[in-house]
A and B are shown apart, each in its own frame.
Chain A
Amino acid sequence: ETGVTQTPRHLVMGMTNKKSLKCEQHLGHNAMYWYKQSAKKPLELMFVYSLEERVENNSVPSRFSPECPNSSHLFLHLHTLQPEDSALYLCASSQDRGTGGQPQHFGDGTRLSIL
């Protein structure tokens, strides 16, 4: 098993659809993250969970809704998305949040395209 697994790898959806992205980590970490990666732009932090509680929401539109049912799983529920939401969505985990020196471990991402 790889450390952080994301499904699906690719997703094409219309603006009126509802879909969910899934992330699972097998590293025993306590913190999980959602990032958006657009071409030639820095990674944008969307949500942070620590011990299953959301600790940060970086002003993300409500059409993105995260869910963290346990420390190993993280979901990103999508509805009524816009074309500018097309991007690579990366999930990451780290041992803890709020401690320096701990690297984040990333999944391969979901490539999302909005028609």
Chain B
Amino acid sequence: EVQLVESGGGLVQPGGSLRLSCAASGFTFSSYAMSWVRQAPGKGLEWVSSISAIGASTYYADSVKGRFTISRDKSKNTLYLQMNSLRAEDTAVYYCAKEDSGGYQRTSESLQHWGQGTLVTVSS
């Protein structure tokens, strides 16, 4: 059974940093692309970033480009999102999601499985 468990969320001041983690199990982690998707309170889903199966390719939404960094550790079966220069508008529940392939097409991949999310609050 695929399991994705996010952690690392919390309260941070504007301009601060936070690193989210997503522990994966139940599948061969190094064979699948992974993504982060966020949802501000009471709002819709927003794609944040994706990383290919072996980590060679990364993709970012314009709203986080240059501030967030996605990475993965095959030895720990863990996905990360390093978030710097945080703003109030980054406040959201952050979900990690497993894609259904290695992520090299970037046209046909679905967000097949989702974690339970971790809440990030940016406020002074």
Does B bind A? no
User: Could you list which residues of chain A lie within 8 angstroms of chain B, going by C-beta atoms?
Assistant: none
User: Could you list which residues of chain B lie within 8 angstroms of chain A, going by C-beta atoms?
Assistant: none
